[in-house]
Amino acid sequence: GSPEWDMWRLDVRRFGPNYNSLDYTVARTFETYTQYYDIHFPGEERMSRRNVRTSPTYFRLRDLGCHFGEKMGWERPNWFKPYEELATHGHEPKGWARHNWSRAIGYEHLQTRENAGLFDETSFNKFEVRGPGALKFLNNACANQIDVPVGHLVYTQALNKRGGIECDFTVTRLAEDRFFIVTGTAFGQHDMSWLSLQMPDDGSVTMEDVGSNYACIGMWGPKARKILEKVTTDDVSNAGFPYMTSKRINVGDVPVLASRVTYVGELGWEFYCPMEYGLRLWDTLWEAGKPEGMVAGGYKAIDTLRLEKGYRYWSGEISPDYTPYEAGLGFAVKLDKGDFIGKEALVKQKAEGITRKLCTITLADDRTIVLGKEPIHLDGRTVGWVAAGGFGYSVNKSIAYAYLPMEYAKPGTKLEIECFGEQVGAEVVQNVLWDPKNERIKA
């Protein structure tokens, strides 16, 4: 069976392979126990058993002044402290959101929008699905059409029988019977487990975790193509390398699988290479990009960039409790491709119409940053709660995402969000605040 509600906060698959170590688990448990009565601030990091899993770029990022965070045992860049002195954006959140925050986040965000940003995403989970039954298996497990030409990418959700979103990832078709899946750092255990439960038992499909085999560097921004052209002889023009395609190229001395995809809403690529090439890949792109104003970026900037672009985050705005139609992801559902898990529920919902939808909301006070679960009021009635939020430095707005009943989901609807006892004015706005026509990412 399966739970009727989203149980992620209690799911054992939240814990990565690092917890297989007794020493690691004891150290983390002791830290948690001794801090039980402490005041816990948003975004705080655990300090025990750090530097367990590191990218090939770790020491290079440290030398650049990186402030690291940790997820699933991985040391990951949150932001780069030297940029604090260069930031001129003037925004500073108030209240609890001010903790574990840096002015560097806004600088990295804006420089990525204006020039380019280089991001180490090696911690992302990656696995390969192979075999004569691989396509049939993935098309049954995923809502989008996976039967695409070799070298194309698909953004898709995997659903439960209720149509709720169990997984959210990209699939690249490497060969007729070979597929490459990339999902978030925290979701590898969960997604691989869920997919494994759907696999046929006739031996026609194999799935392998290849996350530790490959480094991943993302480069995005309006100057990304100009930078890449300095270090490759391959055709990376818009015609030669379209959006949502993938091909093998060389970046300097490094053989990479380059995927033209983005999670920040700008032109660019993710580059996957064997782990031993990771540092050389970073250095090659970094040296080519510095004259163009490229910055090193962290995950906090990625989050602000994706928020104003309207990109979803599983366990935040999307979860097993919500369907793609409710989450504004209907474009990633292909009802005409044949049967798949959750199709029956989606067909029924599409025919009847949705009763709630994920809305983009901006707050009147741009220094008030919602953290999630804040109640939303209209005329004194609670009509929803915040799913996720943050600040959009390019649109200069405090942003919230929330599921609202359809009668309150129209742009222009005035609301109030309760933040620590204060009622803050808010308004439903258009779904995508930044580049709604996708002109930048397809440039």
Q: Residue 2 — pLDDT band, cuts 50, 70, 90?
A: confident
Q: Residue 344 — pLDDT band, cuts 50, 70, 90?
A: very high
Q: Residue 3 — pLDDT band, cuts 50, 70, 90?
A: confident
- pLDDT value for 4: 86
In the chain, what are the domain boundaries?
356-443
Q: Helices then strands (H, E): number in the chain? A: 9, 19
| Res. 299: pLDDT tops 80 | yes
d(CA 266, CA 439): 9
Please provide the size of the chain in residues. 443
Q: Residue 255 — pLDDT band, cuts 50, 70, 90?
A: very high
- pLDDT value for 206: 98
- Beta carbons of 106 and 91 less than 8 angstroms apart: yes
Q: Residue 413 — pLDDT band, cuts 50, 70, 90?
A: very high
Burial class from Cβ neighbours inside 10 Å (0-12, 13-18, 19+) for residue 353 reads: exposed
d(CA 372, CA 387): 5
- pLDDT value for 283: 99
Tens-digit pLDDT profile for residues 81-122: 999 999 999 999 999 999 999 999 999 999 999 999 999 999
User: In whole numbers, what is the pLDDT of the chain averaged over residues?
Assistant: 97
Share of residues in the chain with pLDDT > 70 (%): 100
Q: What would the mean pLDDT of 224-231 be, rounded to a whole number?
A: 99
Opening angle at CA 429, ends 299 and 368, nearest 5: 55
The alpha carbon of 359 is separated from its chain's Cα centroid by a whole number of angstroms, namely: 18
What one-character DSSP code corresponds to residue 8? G
- pLDDT value for 19: 93
- pLDDT value for 358: 99
Amino acid at 417: I
- pLDDT value for 39: 94
- List C-alpha distances in Å: 254 to 16, 250, 259, 278, 295: 30, 5, 15, 8, 21
- Per CATH, the homologous superfamily of domain 356-443 is Aminomethyltransferase beta-barrel domains (2.40.30.110)
| Listed residue (191, 56, 200) closest to 122, CA to CA | 56
| Res. 1: pLDDT tops 80 | no
d(CA 347, CA 328): 16
Q: What DSSP assignment string belongs to 274-306?
A: EGGGHHHHHHHHHHHHGGGT-EEE-HHHHHHHH
| The pair of three-digit structure tokens given for residue 314, joined into one six-digit string | 């599983």
Tens-digit pLDDT profile for residues 34-76: 999 999 999 999 999 999 999 999 999 999 999 999 999 999 9
